[in-house]
Amino acid sequence: MLEELDIRNLGPIREATITPAAGMTAITGETGAGKSMLLSALNLISGGPADAGRVSTGASEAWAQGIFAVSEDAAAATIAREAGVEPEDGELFLSRTVRAAGRSRAVLGGKSLPKSVLVAVAGELITIHGQAEQLKIASPSRQRDFLDRAAGDERELDAYREAWRALSAMDERLARLRSQESSARQRADYLRESVEHINEVDPHPGEDEELKAKRDRIENAAEIAEGVSRALGALDSSQLDYDSSSDSASASDLLLQAAQALRGIHASGDFGELADRLESLNAELQDVVFALSGHLDEDFGDADLDTLNARIHELGELMRRWGPTLADVVAWRDKAAFEIEDLDASPEKLAELEAEREQLYRVAVSAADALSSARTDAASRLAARVTAELESLAMAGASLEIRVTPRKTSGATGDGKPGAAGERGLDQNGGDDIAFLFTPYEGSPQLPMGKSASGGELSRLMLALELSAADMHAGADGGAGESRQPASEAGDAGDNAGSADAAPSDMTFIFDEVDAGVGGKAAAELGRRLARLARTSQVIVVTHLAQVASWADAQFVVTKEPPDADDDAVGVVTTVAEVQDDARVHEVARMLSGSESEASLDHARELLSSSTL
């Protein structure tokens, strides 16, 4: 949800701050006042083109920033974290600077990032339905994504994509096996010989270090034996196999003699405690003696040294070729064993993989059928809802049909990967072709959406789509086809559908030109439906109709100010200000009749009072 929009030096707007309502916000003002600059600001922070011509006269740069409230698990928050930006207190700051020289700078959470990151984050936060932006819905991929969002078919889509990934991986493996040439077979021979050689040596990680340590002890065996013997002779000569030639007592004997001498003292004092400590020291000394005596039994024969050197050399050769460590050698061998399987394109191996691929294909087709069924059902319900809504939006006789057509067999998958002849055409998004077909008036030919409607009609069609999708996603769909009551006759039940208990989304919808060619009762119905959508999503609408603006929770007026006589560099300046209470009554009166007479003011008060769901 957009909490605040800040603008500096963008076109005629020198400085403006807008704090839209959580529900519906109306942007109004006289024609040519500069309302389009607000859309330009939103386009900028959404990653749209940076036009240096939009920088205010005399300014060096233009700047726009949007502050958005996001939930912890929102897709926008996830994308931001992947880019190294953590939402601060549940908010994301998106800003864009455009220099008069033409260069721009995108910033997310105070961190400069590529524009593509801003586009990805903003795409999860803002949907702009203006003359240029809404033409994107003509793209088949956008229509498919919209239908999936309305259908709520995440479970079926995830199951299909998992099956598709497994099938694609197997297709790639088979293609690699079938296309391998003599060089691949030569590599298989090399890998096979290398694996056999490593298996013959049979190394284990760390073995070389163990052997080098053992060799070091063998090479220093005489020095070790002499040192251990001398140490034992000094500590406890009884551990040696020969009598000590020295008449001096060993350390163990001396400790025991000292302890006995202290225990022979019968006077008061700490002599007994000191004797205990000496005996404790002797016990520790005996542990050392025991450990040293074990080294006397080690066998350091010359034959062992020759064997060790040969083994160390053998392991060194392995590490030189496939190292640098024995752990790397073992890992290389295990990886090579798998590669050999893939390179061994024997008829038996290919037949085994092809059978496995056939099973994976059947699983993918089954998942695609489940996804197609969910889409077909949702398409029927969504089209019926939209057609009913269009009648109340000054588009009587208009209708929408959503076709979900199984893709024809082509012998290749939808993304260009090879597929078996006679198989259903699948790609990562399923096996369906989605088409939104719009009939703008009764008797008109049915044409692809985006090629059969004016800007205003397309804006109202998008409103009907967004509103219907929101109702369906909230689980309030009352049925499909003719059994559903037309929106113009639904009354309070239609107004409350899918909104009273629905959790608000993170998405902000921007509507421009939605009221083009609309007036009277249809204008009031248009405002009512925008207000309904605002129950589950934030809505910002640029409008010149009082019947639409009256439904808003907040209203901002864009006004042109005459140039400052003291500043020749500054021309016409546009200001943006929120109007409330009497100020809003006066603005609605102006929109109704172009004047602020008592009659028009009374009419404005009545309109504002009656514009409630």
End-to-end CA distance of the chain: 22
- Going by pLDDT thresholds of 50, 70 and 90, the confidence category of residue 410 is low
**Neighbouring C-beta atoms of residue 113, cutoff 10 Å:** 19
Q: For residue 298, what pLDDT is reported? A: 65
Q: What is the pLDDT of residues 177-198, one digit of tens each?
A: 777 665 777 888 899 999 999 9
Q: Where in the chain is the domain with CATH 3.40.50.300?
A: 1-125+506-612
Which has more confidence, 256 or 534? 534
- Answer yes or no: is pLDDT of 169 > 50: yes
The answer to whether 530 and 518 have CB atoms below 8 angstroms apart is no
Task: Enumerate residues 6+ apart whose C-beta is below 8 A from 467.
Answer: 389, 529, 532, 533
Q: Which helix (H) or strand (E) holds 253?
A: helix 251-263
pLDDT digits (tens, 9 = 90+) for 70-81: 988 889 999 999
Return the percentage of the chain with pLDDT > 70, whole number: 84
Percent of the chain with pLDDT strictly greater than 90: 38
Q: So what's the pLDDT on residue 480?
A: 37
Quickly state the pLDDT bin for 331 (edges 50, 70, 90): very high
Angle CA 15–18–21, to nearest 5:
175
Q: pLDDT tens digits for 37-95?
A: 888 899 899 888 888 888 888 889 999 999 999 988 889 999 999 999 999 999 999 99
pLDDT of amino acid 476: 47
- H or E segment and range at residue 25: strand 24-29
Rounded mean pLDDT, 466-485: 60
Confidence (pLDDT) at 580: 94
Burial of residue 77 (CB within 10 Å: 0-12, 13-18, 19+) is buried
Q: Assess whether pLDDT exceeds 60 at residue 109.
A: yes
Query: CB atoms < 10 A from the CB of 278, how many?
Result: 19
Average pLDDT over residues 294-303: 62
CATH number of the domain at 1-125+506-612, please? 3.40.50.300
For the four alpha carbons of 404, 408, 411 and 416, in that order, the dihedral sign comes to: negative
Q: Which residues contact 9 (CB under 8 A, 6 or more apart)?
A: 15, 55, 56, 59, 61, 62, 63
Region of 526 on the Ramachandran plot (φ > 0 left; ψ -120 to 50 alpha; else beta) = alpha
Mean pLDDT taken over the chain: 82
pLDDT at site 154: 92
Where residue 489 falls among pLDDT bands split at 50, 70, 90?
A: very low
In which residue are the tokens 């009512």 written?
A: 528
**Cβ within 8 Å of residue 181, ≥6 positions away:** none
Which residue from 1, 56, 3, 8 is spatially nearest to 576, judged by alpha carbons? 8
| CA dihedral sign of residues 419, 425, 428, 430 | negative
Q: Which of 91-95, 330-334, 448-452, 476-480 has the lowest mean pLDDT?
A: 476-480
Residue 593 per-residue DSSP state: H
- pLDDT band, residue 290 (cuts 50/70/90): confident
At residue 296, does pLDDT exceed 90? no
Distance between CA atoms of residues 384 and 607, nearest Å: 31
Q: What is the pLDDT of residues 566-584, one digit of tens each?
A: 555 556 788 899 999 999 9
Residue 503: pLDDT band by 50, 70, 90 thresholds?
Answer: very low
Cα 426–chain centre separation: 25
pLDDT at 421: 47
C-alpha 129/C-alpha 119 separation (Å) is: 16
| The pLDDT of residue 294 is above 80 | no
Predicted confidence (pLDDT) per residue in 522-570, tens digit: 888 889 999 999 988 899 999 999 999 999 999 999 998 776 655 555 5
Note the pLDDT of residue 487. Answer: 34
CA atoms within 13 A on the CB side of 511: 35
Q: Using alpha carbons only, give the angle 533, 536, 542 rounded to the nearest 5 degrees.
A: 40
Q: What is the pLDDT of residue 27?
A: 93
